[in-house]
Structure 1
């Protein structure tokens, strides 16, 4: 039985492209939502300066200037939408601003849209590397209460 709606998390990586390909090959849905979650530059700068121990300067972006991170997210999302359509999916584009973490933005969007399945690519990290770098896909799997298709990287 086909699902009504799937959410495909897309960040432009080769693993995300692979996930779209697998979704097109193995899943059917009336609608596929290609989601690119993004973090505003102000928050990225604050997080990075906090990690480095450097005092963050008072930086308030001008309202008239669109956030470069949002511009990048829209471009990445357009690419994902195109790939989903090439994979035979009836897809629509969506971006989500992350207020906390990228994985949380994905889970919140899945809940808002009430999707039947989430599709995401993984980096395939294991061991110490996996401990040092948290995986968005793994966090989605742990915190989401919906089926998740995780597509590992190719060989």
Structure 2
């Protein structure tokens, strides 16, 4: 990647060790004028509705306290701040964004990448294989399949 005034790297960050590794690789191998660390979050009310729908059991309605910040957003902000700090330590001029997922995490990442017109997306992956990979599709794999931008996928450390 050539360095220029408009070079923007989007780093998907969820606080996992694999995401931390992806930030270190981005700082080591990429030069860009700007890095945006993105943390996706889902409101607790939507999480509760999705989980209760999966259980097949009718759940009583839950109305969140709209005067207080959603706990999921507060958690996402803390995770995002950690990612910004790691990116800055890796040598990247970084800023953060917490993005609300409407459908899936990978779709939220693709949407924000398009909105920001980034040059490359960096993400870690769990490196799942076999049956586990079939049952739980990787966010990184879905970003790669659905985003028409370069994607750097950093695999987990081989311990």
Q: Which runs of 5+ in 2 are unaligned?
A: none
Give the match for residue 120 of structure 1: 123
Deviation of 1:150 after TM superposition, in Å, equals 0.2
The total of aligned residue pairs comes to 155
- Within-5 A mapping of 1:99-138: 99-138=102-141
d(CA) in 2 for partners of 1:107, 1:121: 15
Give the match for residue 86 of structure 1: 89
Task: State the superposition RMSD in angstroms.
Answer: 0.8
Q: If the length of structure 1 is used for normalisation, what is the TM-score?
A: 0.98
Deviation of 1:98 after TM superposition, in Å, equals 0.6
d(CA) in 1 for partners of 2:112, 2:140: 14
Larger displacement relative to structure 2 (133-142 or 5-14):
133-142
d(CA) in 1 for partners of 2:77, 2:26: 21
d(CA) in 1 for partners of 2:57, 2:143: 31
2:80 to 77, 82, 86: 77
2:44 to 41, 45, 51: 41
Give the match for residue 142 of structure 2: 139
d(CA) in 2 for partners of 1:134, 1:10: 17
Deviation of 1:2 after TM superposition, in Å, equals 2.3
1:112-136 CA-partner distances (Å, limit 9, x unpaired)? 0000000000000011110111211
d(CA) in 2 for partners of 1:54, 1:70: 27
Deviation of 1:56 after TM superposition, in Å, equals 2.6
Deviation of 1:47 after TM superposition, in Å, equals 1.1
Deviation of 1:62 after TM superposition, in Å, equals 1.7
d(CA) in 1 for partners of 2:3, 2:150: 14
Deviation of 1:50 after TM superposition, in Å, equals 1.3
d(CA) in 1 for partners of 2:109, 2:59: 28
Give the match for residue 27 of structure 1: 30
Deviation of 1:65 after TM superposition, in Å, equals 1.2
